Chains A and B, each alone.
Chain A
């Protein structure tokens, strides 16, 4: 069996488990591709050649001895550089954290993916301390979009979106506090899963906003997304937000189709009038799902505002000591936001947490009558690197805080979402959000799989990069 560029994780695992591929060859092929292509993208900040080759040798030995290495046998993956990797400094996109001691252990989700047979090959670029939707970084440089190198990859999990879209890693992990999995998924044209808040442990990752931080996978197809998610579920008392709930094993459910699901397009706050890219994506999804109902999501603007205040206040508190003594070592684009956040009146934060609960109740009432909401993931396809403002329905707005205006109200209340890349015919990719009730990642993945199977959702091979 010959390994093709852009091979899916399931293809790689099947080849290795069946004895048709060697993990060592798979790793070498991906490392060679990273060497050739990463200089154009700036997606990887650390490439773990020795570790990956050593791990591949173990997988090959297991296979040779007749032991099944697991459902992700020999699948290379990479992680946003806020995940701890033993022996590496967890930089979290910053300059300051590079002075920290190397991590002594891998993050729990890295351990769980490797326990399923996957192989960590590197750490990925990101916006500083995850306060970003653009993928720009003053210290490491901008991460570039594989579909147009002059455009943003989206953030803050920029390297995750770019690397997986470019075929440098079939799987990657990122974090999503306000949209940082869904925005790069949309701009880079791949699938991303932000699970329910409290589903996946965050142990061994550098925090941004404890009230809102989620972790999740990126992939080029729904099956890979589901397999990775299943491998990462499970309790962890070291992260108090992890819910004591049974597994929702989704890989066996994703192919169940959409019969019986009540699906609606999110209107009101999520209306795409005046946003042709986003409108095309939502229209394509609605057509493929035969959905005609549009439902207002009550309180979405307030949910977005609550997420904004909670993010600003909590993250600034985390960094206040560094802001006091080393403000010049921050990325200027994040520093001024942190400084402002450190000064917010306490009552604003309390009000935001009160509204967050009220808004959750509004949306839970909506879910009595609907199982899935389709919403735009981003207002546009990827802006140009360096672009500071954008015109949104005639109003000029800053790019950095507003690229996630459609994702922010959803993560605010922790709903599970799959970002799916829609085939709209335009040059640059753009995605939709498939939003499900809490703890029902399986429903969002079923809808994503239907869109993928019908061709409405499609991951394109970037024209700019060599096959």
Chain B
């Protein structure tokens, strides 16, 4: 697994909370830090997956519909 120990969950939380306008109370800090650390471990697993280099095929696919028939909002 990729090394996720370099991820500073507490520092990240403080920076992002200020950016997003979120107030993190002392009671919430351990929980939020713990879940950020868990997410970092999950991302470490994802980083180790051998997806082909220089590709970006995402599971989210946006299908453009046909043009609406005349008379509808178009």
Contact = CB atoms under 8 A, between A and B. Distances in A.
Nearest to B61: A357
Contact of A309 (B16, B42, B57): B42
A198 B39 CA distance: 27
Contacts of A302: 45-46, 48-49
Contacts of A352: 43, 46
Interface in A308-341: 308-309, 312, 320, 323-324, 327, 332, 335-337, 339-341
A286 interface: no
Given A299-B49, A343-B16, A211 B43 contact: no
B59 A360 contact: yes
Interface string B43-74: 10111110100011111100000000000000
Given A305-B46, A340-B31, A341-B39, 5 more contacts: A309-B39, A336-B34, A343-B12, A358-B57, A401-B38
Contact of B49 (A309, A324, A355, A360): A355
Chain B interface size range? 20 to 34
Interface residues of A, number: 37
Contacts of B49: 299, 302, 355, 358-359
B22 to A, nearest CB: 6
Interface of B: 12-13, 16-17, 20-25, 28, 31-32, 34-36, 38-39, 42-43, 45-49, 51, 55-60
Contacts of A247: none
Dominant secondary structure of chain A at its interface with chain B: helix
Nearest to B16: A343
Most buried by A among B12, B38, B57: B38
6 contacts: A327-B23, A327-B25, A343-B12, A343-B36, A348-B43, A355-B51
B28 A343 contact: no
